[in-house]
């Protein structure tokens, strides 16, 4: 581990990556950002358009939209519906080209269902309406409620199954040929305040485990053979990133530290150490429900928001 590796700021969120880059250089390198507010929700849009922007950000060329939804555990029913509809409208911008496509939508809930900080994908699946079986077994009901064709899976992680999540998803996708895959996974953030309060959606796919330095096979249009939309929620913060930001807030930069201080920090804190709040389990359960309901509202046009619960 080098000094630069240790003090590098690490984040999976595109808006934070742009924030980190802007602190170092003034040129945007083909990374364009904008912000808007929709019904009380702050939305950050990042477009990475060049190979240089891709190299510097560590993210593939594409569109990344980040929503700051706040602490969803504190929502009343009115606030929950309001924010769900905002996220649904953003998600619809990504999924609308695939409405009516043969095979419908396949939701893949990535991560380890047994670890609260890594279970956002699996918990989203639990809040997602699946209808593929109804299309043939109950066609009248399928048509009556205006369902889109959907199915879902929880591929788990390599350590539990001996198979890459991407291998399992690819096998299913090759068989059912969905029009689009929606992959939901946990991410890492730069700030603890953004853990389970932020949702990112992009059209570039995802590399499971990359947020905690354990990257697995990529899940993208190139590897799956069908378009992939990735949704992520930051659930952890890298310890060295948290430390570096805290030092910066106190006016201490890595360059101002003595070699002895740097070595002491590097010996005490490993770059593979990640931190999450003690109440993350409830927060992740709540924001997973928000993602699931938002996807339901965006995909199934024939049902009202109040009816979603009845079909789960």
Question: Rounded to an integer, what distance in angstroms lies between the CA atom of residue 280 and that of residue 127?
Answer: 18
Confidence label for 3 from pLDDT (cuts 50, 70 and 90)? low
Angle (CA) 99-106-199 rounded to 5° is 85
Q: Could you give all domains of the chain from N- to C-terminal order, each with its CATH number?
A: 3-13+101-300 (3.40.50.1450)
Q: Which residues pair with 37 in a beta bridge?
A: 42
Confidence label for 20 from pLDDT (cuts 50, 70 and 90)? low
Higher pLDDT pick, 295 / 15: 295
Confidence label for 106 from pLDDT (cuts 50, 70 and 90)? very high
Higher pLDDT pick, 199 / 6: 199
Per the structure block, which two tokens stand in for 235? 């659930």
pTM: 0.89
Q: Give the whole-number percent of the chain exceeding pLDDT 90.
A: 61
Mean pLDDT lowest for which of 17-31, 71-85, 95-109? 17-31
The answer on pLDDT for 51 being more than 70 is yes
Confidence label for 13 from pLDDT (cuts 50, 70 and 90)? confident
Q: Give the whole-number percent of the chain exceeding pLDDT 70.
A: 90
In the chain, how many H helices and how many E strands? 13, 9
Mean pLDDT lowest for which of 93-97, 108-112, 274-278? 274-278
The mean pLDDT value for 35-50 works out to: 94
Q: What is the pLDDT of residue 225?
A: 94
Kindly give, in sequence order, each residue whose CB lies less than 8 Å from that of residue 47, ignoring residues fewer than 6 positions away.
31, 32, 33, 62, 63, 64
Per the structure block, which two tokens stand in for 305? 């928001």
């Amino acid at each position: 581990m080098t000094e630069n590796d240790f003090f590098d700021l690490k984040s999976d969120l595109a808006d934070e990556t742009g924030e980190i880059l802007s602190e170092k250089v003034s040129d945007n390198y083909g990374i364009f950002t904008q912000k808007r507010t929709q019904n009380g929700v702050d939305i950050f849009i990042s477009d990475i358009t060049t190979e240089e922007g891709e190299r510097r950000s560590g993210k593939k060329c594409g569109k990344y939209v980040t929503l700051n939804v706040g602490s969803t555990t504190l929502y009343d029913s009115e606030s929950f519906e309001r924010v769900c509809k905002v996220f649904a409208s953003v998600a619809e911008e990504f999924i609308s080209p695939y409405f009516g496509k043969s095979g419908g939508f396949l939701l893949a809930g990535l991560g380890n269902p047994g670890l609260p900080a890594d279970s956002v994908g699996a918990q989203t699946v639990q809040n997602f309406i699946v209808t593929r079986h109804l299309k043939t077994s109950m066609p009248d009901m399928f048509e009556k409620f205006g369902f889109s064709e959907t199915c879902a899976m929880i591929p788990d992680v390599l350590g539990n199954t001996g198979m890459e999540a991407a291998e399992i998803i690819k096998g299913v996708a090759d068989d059912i040929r969905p029009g689009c895959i929606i992959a939901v996974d946990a991410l890492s953030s730069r700030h603890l305040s953004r853990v389970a309060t932020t949702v990112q959606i992009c059209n570039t796919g995802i590399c499971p485990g990359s947020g905690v330095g354990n990257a697995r096979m990529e899940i993208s249009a190139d590897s799956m053979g069908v378009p992939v939309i990735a949704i992520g929620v930051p659930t952890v913060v890298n310890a060295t990133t948290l430390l570096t930001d805290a030092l910066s807030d106190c006016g201490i930069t890595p360059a101002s530290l003595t070699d002895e201080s740097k070595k002491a920090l590097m010996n005490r804190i490993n770059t593979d150490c990640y931190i999450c709040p003690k109440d993350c389990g409830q927060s992740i359960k709540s924001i997973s429900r928000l993602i699931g309901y938002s996807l339901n509202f965006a995909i199934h046009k024939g049902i009202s928001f109040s009816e979603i619960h009845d079909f789960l």
